[in-house]
């Protein structure tokens, strides 16, 4: 599996093509893009979790969750309730189609330059 490297404002990140969640959603600059879809790199302290084309960070996180890329951040409803009670819930978010709680304490993101990442299914 080929590793690619991207230099960003937050440092250097590497990724593989299978970490690109939706490469077919790439819209080249200059083409009709009414929702401003662009690539987001979602990472933790260990590196890249996913690259997602989306119109917002919220949608990028939801897409990453729905494809299982952020399962390491999933917390139980009980842990979420306890964190909420103790005033720590601002580190958590309910994400994805199921609205499950995720701990985003160590999650970061970078908006990437608008170019093709990953391999589209049509190729």
pLDDT tier, 67 (very low <50, low <70, confident <90, very high otherwise): very high
d(CA 33, CA 19): 23
How do residues 84-114 score in pLDDT, each as one tens digit?
899 888 889 999 999 999 999 999 999 999 9
pLDDT tier, 121 (very low <50, low <70, confident <90, very high otherwise): confident
Q: pLDDT value at position 12? A: 95
Residues 6+ apart with CB under 8 A from 84: 92
pLDDT tier, 123 (very low <50, low <70, confident <90, very high otherwise): low
Does residue 78 surpass a pLDDT of 90?
yes
- Furthest C-alpha separation in the chain: 50
Kindly report the backbone phi and psi dihedral angles of residue 61, in degrees, each rounded to the nearest multiple of 5, phi listed first. -65, -45
How do residues 15-50 score in pLDDT, each as one tens digit?
999 999 999 999 999 999 999 999 999 999 999 999
Between these two residues, 14 and 89, which has the higher pLDDT value? Answer: 14
Q: What is the DSSP letter of 112?
A: P
**C-beta of residue 111 within 8 angstroms of C-beta of residue 39:** yes
Beta-strand pair 3-8/92-95: unpaired
């Amino acid at each position: 599996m080929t590793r690619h490297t991207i230099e960003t404002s937050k440092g250097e990140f590497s990724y593989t093509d299978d970490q690109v969640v939706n490469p077919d959603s790439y819209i080249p600059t200059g083409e009709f893009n009414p929702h401003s879809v662009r690539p987001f790199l979602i990472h933790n302290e260990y590196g890249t979790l996913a690259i997602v084309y989306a119109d917002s960070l919220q949608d990028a996180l939801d897409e990453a969750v729905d494809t299982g890329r952020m399962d390491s951040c999933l917390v139980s409803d009980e842990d979420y309730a306890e964190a909420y009670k103790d005033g720590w819930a601002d580190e958590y978010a309910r994400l994805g189609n199921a609205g499950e709680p995720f701990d985003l304490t160590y999650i970061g993101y970078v908006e990437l330059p608008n170019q093709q990442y990953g391999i589209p299914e049509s190729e």
